[in-house]
Amino acid sequence: MADSSKEEKIRQIMERKEDHINICLDKPVQARRVRTLFENMHLLNNSLPEIDFDEIDTSTTFLGHKFSVPLMIGAMTGGADLAKRINKNLAEAAEEIGIGMVVGSQRAGLYDESLAATYSIARESAPSIFIGSNIGGAQISRGFSVDEARNLVSMIGANAFYIHLNPAQEIIQPEGDTKYRNVLEGIGRFCKEITVPVVVKEVGFGISGEVSAKLEHAGVKAIEVAGMGGTSYAAVEYYRAREMKLEMKEKMGELFWDWGIPTAAALYLVKKSVSLPVVSSGGIRSGLEIAKSIALGASLAATAWPLLRAATQSKEAVMVKLNEFAFGLKTAMFLLGCRNLDELRGVRYVTTGELKEWMEQL
């Protein structure tokens, strides 16, 4: 790439990454009419838990790595100065608590060393935790190579290679890439040729049972559902399209704002379709929702947007949020009489309303 066009490319990437962060901080970007449907899942209060709060153990393992709480910091960012600070604060907090994190799409890191540093800061700040690399399905369709994937993994000493599937984002994103052929085949290739496990996630529109079965067949080692009910990337791109006066994209952002499979339904459908570890994400906003996710069969939950503002501030601010999630989970376990996550996986629950309909009809 000629120097000036490379510089221009880097500038565009940094601007886009900052746009995403600033829009998520300043504008309403959460689902409007659709919710996760965890509100339709009811756990049974146990007035005789017969355990002490302090004996509750929330630890677990995910892809061979120990987590003190079944919680992952969801993929967010990298590729800009503000993103570097965010990744540092997130990683330091994750290291202190003993949970994992996934960095944002790393394509930017391949262009330039200073951009790579906005991702590798996560590993420098958190030497011992699980960290996931990240690239998008559209890049795979464009022929993203196994060598490039290996570079991303070594850039951050990653323990897993995450691929995000985001056709609904790409179609609304002003500079989105709507070539989405041969992604499954590419995923299969990565599964065979890179040494770390491949994990596939959505970005908030939800993975279906059918898609998850294809991914399992391709060799993927875990699936993160990233369903609807939390951050809407149609909303995020809607604001960018409006700013750029791209009227059709703006209209599509509005129309598909609430598009997607609600998270609790996606989790149920994926669990039913595969025998892989499944991560519950998209609109996870409390420890109680982590508890519900585990009861519905998730190995972990992941949360992104609720940590963003705190991550622009400090490690301590992120820890306040994470500790609230952890305490909420532990409180739910106390009220269910569960000493550990295996016991939580066995609790009975009732589903009502729309969640019940999703479960009965698919």
Binding residues for ligand FMN (CB under 6 A) = 20-21, 24, 74-77, 104-105, 134, 164, 201, 203-204, 226, 230-231, 281-284, 303-305, 308
- Give the CB-nearest residue to ligand FMN: 230
**Distance separating alpha carbons of residues 189 and 154, to the nearest angstrom:** 18
CB nearer ligand FMN, residue 39 or residue 57: 39
Considering the complex, state which of residue 43 and residue 199 has its C-beta at the smaller distance from ligand FMN.
199
- Complex with ligand FMN: residue 40 or 105, whichever CB lies closer: 105
Structure tokens at 344: 């939580």
Smallest separation, CB 71 to ligand FMN (Å): 11
Smallest distance from the beta carbon of 229 to ligand FMN, in angstroms? 7
DSSP for 41-60 reads EEEPP-S---S-GGG----E
Residues 358/268, Cβ–Cβ less than 8 Å: yes
CB of 319 to ligand FMN, least distance (A): 18
Q: Report in angstroms how near the CB of residue 77 gets to ligand FMN at its nearest.
A: 5
CA-to-CA dists, residue 35 to 107, 235, 256, angstroms: 31, 15, 14
Task: Give min distance, CB of 121 to ligand FMN, in A.
Answer: 15
Closest to ligand FMN by CB, 281 or 337? 281
Contacts of 291 (CB under 8 A, 6+ apart): 43, 328, 329, 332, 333, 336, 344
Residue from 121, 71, 65 nearest 101 by CA = 71
Nearer Cβ to ligand FMN, position 9 or 339?
A: 9
Helix (H, G, I), strand (E, B) or coil at 141: helix
